[in-house]
A and B are shown apart, each in its own frame.
Chain A
């Protein structure tokens, strides 16, 4: 196949001593910022952009890409260790990863996350090499109505995320949608629910919300519990590595997560965000015993982690083949290419094959490096957990606030963090989980925009959602998922009614 000779070109370009060095720097830096909450890849890449002026284009892109997936890896680490997601895609990892850590299986969770990600990264790379252009063509078929239907499907997945009450999860999704609307309305330019605070014009920032609702709430809850003796956590190799049964439980989720992530990653907009959530939904639905989810099911780590890494790889496809960035980080990469005088797009493939395929090859190299860097670190991370909590939590809190502040140096961000911490805490006490709300928050603006656009295009005719095959298919999936959610619930409430009657 042609893809292989191309990949060979790529490896020849990417495996130069210099490029390997930059890949390593990127991966190390990415892991570091991923582990330090809040300092996401976006500010880091932005900070490094000027440095890349002086570099060869391929080297600079390799380094920046390394930061991107390094940060993905690192973000999962904090999710598992301290319930603190650095980015949208690691919110899902919190749910079961952190629970595993609480049960003393942090090592296993981290290993599975690393290995799953590596596998997904490999597949993602091959995917780009083999199917990049046709997949990009598929992504181009997505019109506004299709996006709306995709978002609707995504929101239903958010409901499946919850392990408690379905109706509360639905309510939280709607509240998330509402929070997502704060700020300037794209269609009309109107400013909504900002209460005169200009910092809110661009909407509520993601970090204050998740750091508040996940990281801070977790600290408060831990403080309420009696301090457990954590020095007993074992860091023996046997206990860091997943057990045979954990392996057996993980490999299928890794495969499924990779598939889900590779496909959703190509879609510009919410695609990559949806990947981890979708993978979790799939795992929970195929599991024999869904009640284990949210309590430390290893499938809930393996699936989403593979998915988000696969999506991280395939999200390069629209940029590399169409010249269209699919998320803010891709927009940054595009900026980096343009500074170097390269106009991203399919033309790069023919005019600079060494650059295009070199980048693809560097993705695989980067993933390999990450696994090599991260596996030995797992012991250190787990060891960190054995520090008494009374020393640990003030430091975690400090990292949380610096992270939030680092993205937007502004006291309003701290107030938002505090507000969301209190809100999240109250809602947890009332039995409502934050994860569905976060997904609603992320998808809300996209959903509204595309709904409104579709209806303008159809002059108010809702049939537009049924006339397009992609949209129709997605809506049918959504309906199916809805039935899957509602049916067992109806049965359950009947049982409850029955018990009460009896």
Chain B
């Protein structure tokens, strides 16, 4: 009977298979060509199939060999950190670097359970001042300091 003995391997195998299948599926319109005149699809398709093959081997090992379990994934840190990154992308052009920094720092700080509003306010102001000073005035990076431009 099949029993999952190494969940990490099985998980990794499934991800590789998914990537390989996506590679084949989205690459099917590309010209394959011949070995003497490879089309744009030749290398990607070969790589995609190789990825699937590796996925099958690694996933298969998940049933054959014992391995460590997958560590628990606490959702709070990863969700807030990712949210902070996306927030930056969507806010920076709307409200400028100063306020975006404040928002990002708040979201990022909320990734910890022991979220402390007072501390975060201070941190946000300090980092915002630092960022605007260094990146906009110091290095003239292409981003607005404030909103409305």
Q: Which A residues fall within an 8 A CB radius of B?
A: 33, 36, 39, 44, 47, 167-168, 170-171, 174-175, 177-178, 181, 185, 187-188, 190, 192-193, 195, 216, 219-220, 223-224, 390-391, 393-395, 397-398, 400-402, 405-406, 409, 411, 413-415, 417-418, 421-422, 425-427, 429-432, 448, 451-452, 455-456, 458-462, 496
**Residues on the A chain within 8 Å of B118, using CB:** none
| Residue contact B27 to A431, C-beta cutoff 8 Å | no
Question: Cβ of A458: which chain B residues have Cβ within 8 Å of it?
Answer: 36
Q: How far apart are the CA atoms of A381 and B114 in the complex, in Å?
A: 27
CB–CB B43/A451 < 8 A: yes
Question: Which of A47, A409, A460 sits near B34, CB closer than 8 Å?
Answer: A460
Number of interface residues of B (CB under 8 A): 73
- 25 pairs of residues in contact across A and B, judged by CB atoms under 8 Å: A171-B12, A171-B16, A175-B51, A178-B19, A178-B48, A178-B51, A187-B38, A188-B31, A188-B40, A195-B26, A220-B81, A223-B77, A394-B84, A394-B127, A401-B85, A401-B88, A405-B141, A409-B142, A421-B82, A422-B82, A430-B70, A431-B8, A431-B68, A432-B12, A448-B43
- A167, B71: Cβ atoms closer than 8 Å: no
Does B96 interact with chain A (Cβ within 8 Å)?
A: no
Inside 8 A of A33's CB, which chain B residues have their CB?
A: 139
Task: Give the residues in chain A near B109, CB-CB below 8 Å.
Answer: 390, 394
Which residues of B are found within 8 Å of A224, using beta-carbon distances? 74, 77
Contact A168 B58 (CB under 8 A): yes
B112 touches A192 (CB 8 A): no
Query: Within the complex, what minimum Cβ distance (angstroms) separates B57 from chain A?
Result: 6
B47 within 8 A of A: yes
A394-B104, A394-B109 given; A181·B85 CB < 8 A: no
Q: Is B40 touching A415 in the complex (CB atoms < 8 A)? A: no
Residues of A contacting B90 in the complex (Cβ-Cβ under 8 angstroms): 411, 414
Give complex CA distance A195, B29 in Å. 12
A-B Cβ contacts below 8 A, count: 191
Given contacts A393-B108, A398-B105, A411-B93, contact A178 B44 (CB under 8 A): yes
In the bound assembly, the distance between CA atoms of A39 and B139 in angstroms comes to: 9
A residues in contact with B65, CB < 8 Å: 496
Residues of B near A411 (CB, < 8 A) are: 89-90, 93
Chain B residues with Cβ below 8 Å from A39 are 135, 139, 141
Residues of B within 8 A of A406 (CB): 135, 139, 141-143
User: B92 contacts the other chain (Cβ, under 8 Å)?
Assistant: yes
Q: Which of B68, B88, B119, B123 has the most CB of A within 10 A?
A: B88
- Complex Cα–Cα for A401 and B141 (A): 13
Q: Knowing A178-B51, A394-B109, A460-B36 touch, does A418 contact B86 (C-beta < 8 A)?
A: yes
Instruction: Pick from B8, B39, B101, B105: contact of A188, CB below 8 A.
Output: B39
Residue of A nearest to B111 (CB): A223
**Residues of chain A within 8 A of B77, CB atoms compared:** 219-220, 223-224
| B117 lies within 8 A of chain A by Cβ | no
CA distance A393 to B77 in the complex (A): 12
A395 contact from B61, B127, B140, Cβ within 8 A? B127
CB distance from A318 to the nearest CB of B (A): 27
A181 near B47 with CB under 8 A, answer yes
Determine whether the beta carbon of B50 is less than 8 Å from that of A174.
Answer: yes
Min CB distance, B138 to chain A, in Å? 8
Given contacts A188-B40, A192-B40, A216-B81, contact A168 B27 (CB under 8 A): no
Known: A427-B15, A431-B68, A452-B43. A223 touches B54 (CB 8 A): no
Q: Looking at the assembled complex, report how far the CB atom of B91 sits from the nearest CB atom of chain A, in whole angstroms.
A: 10
Asked whether A223 lies within 8 Å of B31 as measured between CB atoms, the reply is no
Cα distance A224–B48 when bound, in Å? Answer: 34
**Complex: chain B residue closest to A449, CB-CB:** B43
Inter-chain contact B37/A456, CB cutoff 8 Å = yes
- Asked if A220 and B58 make an inter-chain contact with CB atoms under 8 angstroms apart, the answer reads no
Chain B residues with CB under 8 A of A413: 89
Residue in A39, A405, A430 with the greatest tally of chain B CB atoms within 10 Å:
A430
CB-based contact A190/B40 at 8 Å: yes
A398-B40 contact, Cβ under 8 Å, with A223-B77, A427-B12: no
**Nearest chain A CB to B135's CB is how many angstroms away?**
6
The CA of A456 and the CA of B39, in the complex, are separated in Å by 11
| Contact between chains at B19 and A192 (CB < 8 Å) | no
A190 near B37 with CB under 8 A, answer no
> Measured between alpha carbons, how far is A33 from B31 in the docked complex, in Å?
43
The smallest C-beta distance from B9 to any residue of chain A, in angstroms, reads 7
A455 CB → nearest B CB, Å: 6
In the complex, the answer to whether B38 meets A455 with C-beta atoms within 8 Å is yes
Residues on B with C-beta less than 8 A from A181 are 43-44, 47
A36 contacts B123, CB within 8 Å? Answer: no
The residues of B that contact A426 with a CB separation of less than 8 Å are 11, 15
Residues of chain B lying within 8 A (CB to CB) of residue A455: 35-38
Residue in B50, B70, B104, B140 whose beta carbon sits within 8 Å of that of A401 in the complex: B104
Instruction: Decide yes or no: A394 and B43 within 8 Å by CB, A224-B74, A414-B85, A430-B8 being known contacts.
Output: no
B120, closest chain A residue (CB): A394
